[in-house]
Chain A
Amino acid sequence: MTVAIRSAGLGKQYRSGWALRDCNLQIPAGRICALVGPNGAGKTTLLRLALGLLKPSTGDISVFGWSPTTNATLVLARVGYVPQDRPLYRRFTVDEMLHLGRRLNPRWDQEVAAGRLRRLDIPLDRQVGQLSGGQQAQVSLALALGKRPDLLLLDEPVSNLDPLARRQFLSELVQVVAADGLTVVLSSHVVAELERVCDHLVILNSGRVQVMGEIEALLELHKLVIAPSLDPAQVARDQTVVQATHTERQSALLVKVGGKPVRSDWETHSVSLEDMVLAYLGNPSVSTLPAPALEEVAG
């Protein structure tokens, strides 16, 4: 397994405090990884560390084995980045934005960038500021893809987009990844759309990695248990309870299935990605990370 991003003991301290602490992370290559967490969880900080826009305060991070700070040009040439709020030079035409990409990137592929926008009927001679939000997002994506990156970092790429533009953007993204096999890390605080798009999940909470793993495996691992109102301690003996909701008559528990099977007389349901993520975000004391031993074998 090739690892796209690996970090060990990674931390970043700003004047206002720690944005990221003791972050041990492995994002395998060729996946679309969702980086999820509430605002201020450290998602942007992590992406900017991976790009070398920030220097770590503690620990280190590598991208395809390269340090983004000591091998800045190498990493910058291989990593496409769409920053938060998708900034563009608003007075440039689309064509001029692509020209910027051509001038500043050694591996630039004009056809990849311009062809994509033409297919989407985005006029290349229009000023960027006059495009719709969805079209601007596509220009940002084209600019990042024109670099022919091995890794694509997207910081809240669909925020402030209407639902249709959101869906278009994400389906474009899936097509590209399917065709080129590049690695994508996509940060978001909205989970709803991600299930269709992503196959790997990292939950950041208050600057720490809380959950990391394959989405499919994680969903299999978690169950919603509905049982007659009962003592949660009874469940907690065998399973890890991530979230518990009690009413007078029954309890709904989102549990991480442990070694022992759930009692057969209890009703169990599979969970959605969104339910699972929200359960974890509401309970920072529970975490699910690959065991270090397994990592060794996998690596």
Chain B
Amino acid sequence: MTWLIWRQHRLEGLVATLLVVPTLVLVAVFFITAQPLVHLANTACPGDSCSSASQAFLDRFGTLRLVIKAILIGLPALAGVFIGAPLLAREFEQGTDQLVWSQGITRQRWLLAKLGLLSAATVLLAILLGVAGRIWFEAQPVLNSSQWQEYDIQGPAYASYAFFSLALGIAAGAAIGRTVPAMAVALVGYVGVRLAIVFLARPNFLPPLQWDVSTNLAGQLDAWMLGDQKHFDLQGHPLSDLSWQAAVNTCSQIQGPWGSCLRDHGAVVLQAYQPGDRFWLFQSIEAAVFVGLGIILLGLTVWVIGRRS
């Protein structure tokens, strides 16, 4: 089976390698060449020359930085569209399922070998890219970026996207039986599920913490701010617009810390956030979600193929 899988998918393997290896090289080049400017920016910040040093970094490396990010964002979707969707659909279209299922091995063994090997290869490449994404993130001036902003191109979550994408493509191909529609479903489905998790699920993996803006958010530079600030009175009830305006009008005329002035006038401003030390926990939760979805999809594939006539 291993030979057959290699023979059938060596072209995809070659193309994947030709996409992944240059990306890794690009990240390495970025990391090495950007270091002097990153170092300058990091020593200048915070300070008077901070913005010019940061700007110097962006002027020189802004494009490369974005190119790498775009490639990393796009690659997992390709796994589903170009490897996953045709995997079974093309066999059905050309009738070769009948050929291979009538050889001396059962179709379950054939299927499990295919799913296992291609998943393993895809996840392996995606882990490499996820590590590269983290390196890409680390290779930037500290003040320029937040790891929450670059959450989607690094770590275990990134590897899990590729696995999910592949599984979705395979399941779509098995269920639809035609390559091109399965490719479309794989792409649309991948983007849809990813967006849904980003906007609906991820902010609530754990209940957000509340930051009282009148106090200092010590050590939480790396927090992920969720939504707008909300206004409350000292008892914790939502503040009416009228009272809020009154407090704002008063405080805008005085010198001194804005937050504590508002509090003196009966207004508390709260900002929901996820603290920076939850980053890897969130990555793990999201990876578990996508791996779980992927496993369900592969299970459905096994079921569909088992029932197929």
- B95 x A103 contact (CB < 8 A): no
Interface string of B70-103 (1 = CB under 8 A from A): 0000000000000000000000001110111111
Taken together as a complex, chains A and B put the C-alpha atoms of A48 and B102 apart, in Å, by: 9
| Contact in complex: A89, B8 (CB < 8 Å) | yes
A104 and B94 in contact, given A76-B106, A89-B8 (Cβ under 8 angstroms): no
Assess whether A118 is interfacial by the CB under 8 Å rule: no
Is residue B309 within 8 Å, beta carbon to beta carbon, of the partner chain?
yes
A residues 65-83 near B (Cβ < 8 Å) are 72-73, 76-77, 79-81, 83
| Extra inter-chain contacts (16) besides given A53-B102, A76-B104, CB under 8 Å | A51-B102, A54-B309, A76-B103, A87-B94, A87-B95, A87-B96, A88-B96, A89-B94, A99-B7, A103-B4, A104-B100, A104-B104, A105-B103, A108-B104, A143-B99, A147-B103
Chain A residues with CB under 8 A of B242: none
Closest to A54 in B: B309
Chain A residue with Cβ nearest B101:
A53
- A92 proximal to B (CB < 8 A): yes
Q: Do residues A104 and B96 form an inter-chain contact, with CB atoms below 8 A?
A: no
Residues in A neighbouring B106, C-beta threshold 8 A: 72-73, 76
Chain B CB within 8 A of A84 CB = yes
Point out the residues of chain A lying under 8 angstroms from B98, CB to CB. 48, 53, 81, 83-84, 87
User: Considering the chains assembled together, what is the distance between the CA atoms of A79 and B106 in angstroms?
Assistant: 13
13 pairs, CB–CB < 8 Å, chain A vs chain B:
A48-B309, A53-B98, A72-B106, A76-B106, A87-B98, A87-B99, A88-B96, A99-B3, A100-B4, A100-B100, A104-B4, A104-B105, A147-B104
List, in ascending order, chain B residues with CB within 8 A of A99's CB: 3, 7
Cα distance, A220 to B94, chains bound together (Å): 43
The B-contacting residues of A in range 102-119, CB under 8 angstroms, are 103-108
* Contact across chains for B103 and A100 when beta carbons are under 8 A apart: yes
Contact between B1 and A89 (Cβ–Cβ < 8 Å)? no
Bound complex: CA of A105 vs CA of B102, how far in Å?
Answer: 10
Q: How far is the CB of A40 from chain B (nearest CB, A)?
A: 15
A residues near B102, Cβ cutoff 8 Å = 51, 53, 76, 79-81, 83
Contacts of B100 in A (CB 8 A): 100, 104
- Is A85 interfacial (CB-CB < 8 Å)? yes
CB-based contact B104/A73 at 8 Å: yes
Task: Give residues in B with beta carbon < 8 Å to A.
Answer: 1, 3-4, 7-8, 94-96, 98-106, 309
B184 to chain A, nearest CB (A): 24
- Which chain B residues lie closer than 8 Å to A80 at the CB level? 102
What is the distance, in angstroms, from A157's C-beta to the closest C-beta of chain B? 13
Cβ contact within 8 Å between A83 and B104:
no
* Chain B residue with the shortest CB-CB distance to A76: B104
Per-position 1/0 for A251-286, Cβ under 8 A of B:
000000000000000000000000000000000000
Rounded to whole angstroms, the CA-CA distance of A81 and B98 in the bound complex is 9
A209 to B33, CA, bound (A): 78
Please tell me if the beta carbons of B103 and A53 are within 8 angstroms of each other in the complex.
Answer: no
A84, B95: Cβ atoms closer than 8 Å: yes
- Rounded to whole angstroms, the CA-CA distance of A85 and B105 in the bound complex is 22
**Interface membership of A96, Cβ < 8 A:** yes
Q: Is the CB of B103 within 8 A of A101?
A: yes
Cβ–Cβ contact B103 & A83, under 8 A? no
A83 near B105: Cβ-Cβ < 8 Å:
no
Whether A90 is near chain B, meaning CB under 8 Å from some CB there, is yes
| Chain A, range 32-51, C-beta contacts under 8 Å to B | 48, 51
The residue that A104 contacts in the complex, of B8, B95, B103, B309, with Cβ under 8 A, is: B103
Chain B nearest CB: distance from A285 CB in Å?
A: 30
Chain A residues with CB under 8 Å of B95's CB are: 83-85, 87
- In the assembled complex, the Cα of A83 lies from the Cα of B98 at a distance in Å of 6
Contacts of A106 in B (CB 8 A): 104
Q: Which 4 A-B pairs have the closest CB atoms?
A: A87-B95, A104-B103, A83-B98, A81-B102
Shortest distance from the beta carbon of B283 to any chain A beta carbon, whole Å: 40
Q: What separation, in Å, do the CA atoms of A147 and B98 have in the docked complex?
A: 16
Chain B residues in 8 Å Cβ range of A87? 94-96, 98-99
- Shortest distance from the beta carbon of B191 to any chain A beta carbon, whole Å: 31
B102 to chain A: closest residue by CB: A81
Tell whether, in the assembled complex, residue A103 and residue B3 are in contact, meaning their CB atoms are under 8 Å apart: yes
By beta carbon, the residue of chain B nearest A45 is B309
Nearest-CB residue, chain A, relative to B309: A54
**How far is B250's CA from A180's CA once the two chains are assembled, in angstroms?**
104
Please, how many angstroms separate the alpha-carbon atoms of A90 and B90 in the complex? 12
Interface centre among A88, A103, A105, by most B CB within 10 Å?
Answer: A103
- B216 to nearest A CB, angstroms? 65
Residues of A within 8 A of B105 (CB): 73, 76, 104
Alpha-carbon distance between A73 and B106 when the two chains are bound, in angstroms: 6
Kindly provide the distance from the CB of A135 to the nearest chain B CB, expressed in whole angstroms: 17
- Identify the closest chain A residue to B109 (Cβ): A73
Assess the A88–B99 pair: CB atoms within 8 A.
yes
B252 shortest CB reach to chain A, Å = 72
Nearest Cβ in chain A — how far from B231, in angstroms?
A: 61
Contact partner of B309 among A14, A72, A100, A103, CB < 8 A?
A: A14
Which of chain B's residues has its CB closest to A53's CB? B101
Please, which residue of chain A has its CB at the minimum distance from the CB of B94?
A87
Task: Report how far A204 CA is from B21 CA in the complex, Å.
Answer: 58
A96 to B7, Cβ gap below 8 A?
yes
Which residue of chain B has its CB nearest to the CB of A72? Answer: B106
> Which residues of the other chain, B, contact A90 by a CB distance below 8 angstroms?
94
